Amino acid sequence: MALRIHDTRSRSKRELVTLEEGKVGLYACGITPYSSSHIGHARQAISFDIIVRWLRKSGFEVNYITNFTDVDDKIISAANEEGVDFLEIANRYIAEYFTVMDAMNVIRADAYPRVTETIPEIIDMVSTLVESGHAYVAGDGVYFEIDTAPEKFGQLTGQTLEMVRAGAGGRVEDTGSGKRDHRDFALWKMAKPDEPSWKSPWGAGRPGWHIECSAMSLKHLGEKFDIHGGGSDLLFPHHEAEIFQSECCLGHEPVVQYWIHNGMINVDGDKMSKSLGNFWTIGDALEQVDPLVLRYTLINAPYRQPVDFNSVMVDDSQIHHGRLVSVYGEGLLLGGTGEWEGYDNLSESTERLKAGMDDDFNTRVALVEVQSVARHLRALLDSGDSGNEIAACVSWISEFAGGTLGLLPDDEDILLSMEKKSLASAEVSPRVEELLVERETARAEKDWGRADEIRDELTGMGIVVEDGPDGPTWGLD
């Protein structure tokens, strides 16, 4: 089965046919580092991380670029509030971004261009657009004139400008005194007092929001490249504006062969926002759950679907991820690794997983297969089997749960954690077994109060109890 991806521009799944055989150029819009990154940023970064992992596993050489918008109104505002240089704010939150992304096993991109490092290329693009008649100079900046290429509008949204402006939120450029038409957007903003600025043919100033990504993507990937992505909140106006700018500047279309967009994060059914009090930074989330549990939570739906972030979903992910790591660690300790080809069940799981990932990177299908193999490995371990199939399952889980989905810690860390848990388990085992007997007696006598007390004591000891048909089993959380 050929790898197909959903192209926003054509509104269909298309077979991936790259400009250069065996190679993929991919650009994903990155963060504006004016404050701590939130779980929406985590969803986007993890989505594209897995896309890149799968492309590489499928044999492609991938050049993956994602940017930092390191000069922006919000960055300048935050810097002014603290009385520091704007780059101090940007650098602080870029460093924090890398810390949390590393914790969640997000592989580093091949390059992270910054706006402040791309000013010459941005000025060149704006100059070309002015010279070709697609942009004009006004007193307060340089603007792209929509009416010079009206046929390009709505290629991603499929709507008229008037329809989408109403739902575009605060990212639409405010009407400025220099605009000829309210639909035009800023390419260059003339300098204001106490703001960072750069010299240009039109006067000192700084780039508009949209031109930045056009310049950075073309600089790193060339005048045509394969995939451009980002969150679905960037469809309008940002990515629509990029189509205008890049194609009118270069004089050919399409510049981008495939546009892909990940779904947004909702929290308990509502859009995440500070005003609703349901805003989660990644740091907030990592105070509650392990970084790889958060990763598991955010890939438990295909990347294009919205994710409803709630305690039930996180708790469920914690259970499933914990079982996965536990059974993998036990298998690794007992059987090591070995070739998995030749085992029918593993070959069948592989085919289903590949079919899902080749169908627009469906991580939900992949997780189902990972958990299926984990259950099979658990059955082998519980049966006392010590044959080669355990090693085969371990290798399969390492390859797909680890390499493809990024859900496993390093093997050394897993084995070290198991050793620590084994020692701790031996210490508490007598007391736990005693409490479990008391709990069973209390439940048999319908003394629910005492049963709850025992449960709370076990929880306080870091013990997780699972009730099964053969009685309770326990382990350290």
CB 366 within 8 A of CB 407: no
Residues 395 and 346 in one domain: yes
CB 201 within 8 A of CB 128: no
Q: Please tell me the distance from the alpha carbon of residue 310 to that of residue 317, in angstroms, as a whole number.
A: 11
Q: Please tell me the distance from the alpha carbon of residue 442 to that of residue 460, in angstroms, as a whole number.
A: 19
Residues 315 and 402 in one domain: yes
Q: Dump pLDDT digits (tens) for 106-127.
A: 999 999 999 999 999 999 999 9
Residues 367 and 327 in one domain: yes
pTM for this structure? 0.88
DSSP state of 340: -
Residue 35's Cβ-count burial label (10 Å; 0-12, 13-18, 19+) is: middle
Residues 381 and 342 in one domain: yes
**Is 339 among the domain residues?**
yes
Tokens of 46: 């993890």
Q: Please tell me the distance from the alpha carbon of residue 92 to that of residue 36, in angstroms, as a whole number.
A: 9
Q: Please tell me the distance from the alpha carbon of residue 220 to that of residue 27, in angstroms, as a whole number.
A: 9
CB 395 within 8 A of CB 336: no
Q: Dump pLDDT digits (tens) for 343-357.
A: 999 999 999 999 999
Q: How many CB atoms lie within 10 A of CB 348?
A: 12
**Is 451 among the domain residues?**
yes
Domain end residue (candidates: 409, 437, 459):
409
Q: What local confidence, expressed as pLDDT, does residue 164 receive? A: 46
Residues 342 and 378 in one domain: yes
CB 424 within 8 A of CB 476: yes
Residues 343 and 380 in one domain: yes
**Is 450 among the domain residues?**
yes
Residues 401 and 349 in one domain: yes
Residues 433 and 404 in one domain: no
Q: What are phi and psi of 303, to 5 degrees?
A: -60, -25
Q: Please tell me the distance from the alpha carbon of residue 326 to that of residue 374, in angstroms, as a whole number.
A: 10
Q: How many CB atoms lie within 10 A of CB 298?
A: 27
CB 260 within 8 A of CB 8: yes
Q: Please tell me the distance from the alpha carbon of residue 49 to that of residue 406, in angstroms, as a whole number.
A: 9
Question: How long a stretch of residues is the chain?
Answer: 477
**Is 415 among the domain residues?**
no
Range of the domain at 318: 311-409
**Is 345 among the domain residues?**
yes
Please count the structural domains in the chain.
2
Kind plus residue range of the DSSP H or E element containing 141: strand 141-144
> C-alpha 250: how far from its chain's center?
31
CB 348 within 8 A of CB 355: no
Which CATH number do you get for residue 330?
1.20.120
In the chain, the amino acid numbered 475 is G
Which of 223, 230, 227 has its CA nearest to residue 67?
230
Residues 363 and 436 in one domain: no
What lies within 8 Å, CB to CB, of 61 at 6+ separation is 22, 23, 24
Residues 324 and 401 in one domain: yes
Residues 354 and 436 in one domain: no
**Is 303 among the domain residues?**
no
**Is 148 among the domain residues?**
no
Domain end residue (candidates: 376, 409, 442):
409
Residue for token digits 């620590």?
Answer: 420
Which of 401, 472, 461 has its CA nearest to residue 428?
461
Please report, for residues 18, 145, 165, the alpha-carbon distance to residue 182 in angstroms, rounded to integers and kept in the order given: 37, 10, 11
Q: Please tell me the distance from the alpha carbon of residue 265 to that of residue 287, in angstroms, as a whole number.
A: 19
Per-10-residue mean pLDDT, the chain, length 477: 94 98 98 97 98 98 98 96 97 98 98 98 98 96 95 87 50 60 92 95 96 98 98 95 97 97 91 80 94 97 94 93 94 87 95 98 98 96 86 96 97 82 63 79 85 80 72 69
Residues 377 and 451 in one domain: no
How many Cα atoms within 13 Å fall on the side-chain side of residue 174? 6
**Is 68 among the domain residues?**
no
Domain end residue (candidates: 380, 409, 438):
409
Q: How far apart are the first and last CA of the chain?
A: 41
Q: Please tell me the distance from the alpha carbon of residue 399 to that of residue 387, in angstroms, as a whole number.
A: 20
Q: Please tell me the distance from the alpha carbon of residue 446 to that of residue 358, in angstroms, as a whole number.
A: 53
